[in-house]
Structure 1
């Protein structure tokens, strides 16, 4: 399955190579772990882009599709029976590190890992015998929704595909699982950890940022609508005016900027993403990058590594806190060096 993350949330479905998922399956899993649901929570009705879905009773076999739904269920101590393969940041089995850690903490086996397809793998989802399918942050089409709805209730995205805010994904998952209050608590705990980091680093307050990715010959700038930018601002940073002034409007979450114009993208700090340190070093040493004052004046925070980038692209119920300390340390070092 492909998601547009990493450059549009790390780069959009149009750059599928950023999130090329390599399908495979792990050993079959058992029913989802027993959960405590809110008394009288069911039936639940959830509205989304394709209408509304009624969940008549507490789900026992949950299938997650897309990005973040498996994380949200696990954060609520519900183990899905099947999850999507994630090659970007995942291990050889397509399982992300924060999901591995959560499964270990719950003493749960790895769920069945669905195959790598752009389209929802209907046959494999059917084989998992779900009584709920979570696709709240996905590229699910209407035809796929109709096919999957013949198998089990499907919770799709509320607006546009690949655009559900990470907090809404968590709370919607909580509603679907009958764990609304627990989901709100998950969001509150994450927000508290981010706020604690902001309080710990008052030097972040007001520092202007531009978040960028030079990938396959194109230079991407993330806009304030991108979840990674949003939560970086929650730490006290402020998006530089040049980011919005240069915005071409080609996407909600990012735009491309020609290498000849990089010197126009000014900010106190440049946050640069790259798959590897070699890629990062190559970009910063390039002629276009050397035209940027942030680069020549050592005002750059390098965010490097697929799993690390995936953890904030966009963040999930498990991934944000998984990568938060490392992310904050990198930003703190860069701010200190820039002064």
Structure 2
């Protein structure tokens, strides 16, 4: 599977963790156990319903493992240092640690957790070696078999309905519920919402402008649908998804589709937002015959999100990544809107 296809499948970083990915080897840190705050705002036992049934958590978990995308971020945002987190090769450093995770660990004065091997399957043996009280995987591809294996030795919280489909706000809420910190989770969400509102208020020119979000490659041209979290994020800032985005939908996925070259000129929108792994990839697209067919390229109304960490930070956003990347994101959009208005 190509990097592009991994990025398209809902979230670049999360789906990359499902695929061959970079091979971190389950590096461990001595005494890598969770370090929760002394107090929590919730009461136990707590029952959480998810795709595989009900998980009853009898007492506040002390050794917490994150799996999938966004769970580690939510755990840390709630003041708990997880015992183990998955490597995230897409956007992460040489150890698969995302920059906002590294920043939060530094802020908390915490050691690096055990790094679980990324891949298409949950590393059951690596997780078992940590001896967790709970595995939190609310945004993941956990299978029934993996859930059963994990449940044999620990509590497991999976996604509410479908794999890789939990709204990012729900990831935070579910994590707060599981850790007995629902009030803290609500505070994290309030802070994020305030950050988004501040950025929207600082950029009133975004209000009502139509946007199309795409990932071009040598093989195909991908368009993100309104159901994709990154589109929802832009709407939070005041943009609207261009009607042409849904009118041209081929129905191949709930959150993206491939657009034929002969239809590119029909992707009508005030603004085009382009995602790319590297500057070279973006530059190659902008000078391609494909790009010349897009009306936004002619007007210069093109914003870019370039770099694996930058793409991952909004794909979808997390409890930590949104505030990490939102300033650059809005600056890029503001620059493109300014060109539109000239």
TM-score, normalization by structure 1: 0.95
CA distance in 1, matches of 2:44, 2:194: 30
Per-residue deviation at 1:105? Answer: 0.3
Assess if the C-alpha contact under 8 Å between 2:18 and 2:121 holds in 1: no
Aligned to 1:245: 247
What is the aligned counterpart of 2:334 among 328, 332, 336?
332
**Structure 1 residues 3-18: aligned runs within 5 Å:** 6-10=7-11
What is the aligned counterpart of 2:275 among 266, 273, 277?
273
CA distance in 1, matches of 2:174, 2:69: 14
Task: Return closer, same or farther for 1:314/1:5 CA change in 2, 3 Å cut-off.
Answer: farther
Task: Return closer, same or farther for 1:177/1:310 CA change in 2, 3 Å cut-off.
Answer: same
Per-residue deviation at 1:260? Answer: 2.0
DSSP-derived class of the 1:194 partner: helix
CA distance in 1, matches of 2:258, 2:294: 16
Per-residue deviation at 1:324? Answer: 0.3
Aligned to 1:139: 141
Per-residue deviation at 1:125? Answer: 0.4
Per-residue deviation at 1:56? Answer: 0.8
Task: Return closer, same or farther for 1:329/1:128 CA change in 2, 3 Å cut-off.
Answer: same
Aligned to 1:192: 194
Instruction: Give the aligned CA root-mean-square deviation in angstroms.
Output: 1.9
> Which 5+ residue runs of structure 2 have no aligned equivalent?
none
> Which 5+ residue runs of structure 1 have no aligned equivalent?
none
* 2:256 counterpart of 1:287: no
CA distance in 2, matches of 1:172, 1:186: 13
Task: Return closer, same or farther for 1:11/1:34 CA change in 2, 3 Å cut-off.
Answer: closer
What is the aligned counterpart of 2:122 among 120, 123, 148?
120
The number of residues matched between the two structures is 337
DSSP-derived class of the 2:265 partner: helix
Per-residue deviation at 1:21? Answer: 3.6
Assess if the C-alpha contact under 8 Å between 2:21 and 2:119 holds in 1: no
DSSP-derived class of the 1:87 partner: coil
Assess if the C-alpha contact under 8 Å between 1:63 and 1:125 holds in 2: yes
CA distance in 1, matches of 2:84, 2:12: 26
Assess if the C-alpha contact under 8 Å between 1:19 and 1:88 holds in 2: no
DSSP-derived class of the 1:184 partner: helix
CA distance in 1, matches of 2:228, 2:95: 28
Task: Return closer, same or farther for 1:117/1:47 CA change in 2, 3 Å cut-off.
Answer: same
DSSP-derived class of the 1:303 partner: strand
Aligned to 1:210: 212
CA distance in 2, matches of 1:211, 1:255: 11
Per-residue deviation at 1:97? Answer: 0.2
Q: Give CA deviations for 1:90-116 in whole Å, capped at 9, x if unaligned.
A: 000110000000000000000010012
Aligned to 1:25: 26
Task: Return closer, same or farther for 1:223/1:157 CA change in 2, 3 Å cut-off.
Answer: same
TM-score, normalization by structure 2: 0.94
Q: Give CA deviations for 1:10-66 in whole Å, capped at 9, x if unaligned.
A: 469888898824323344252211324445611110000011101111100001010
What is the aligned counterpart of 1:174 among 173, 176, 186?
176
DSSP-derived class of the 1:210 partner: strand
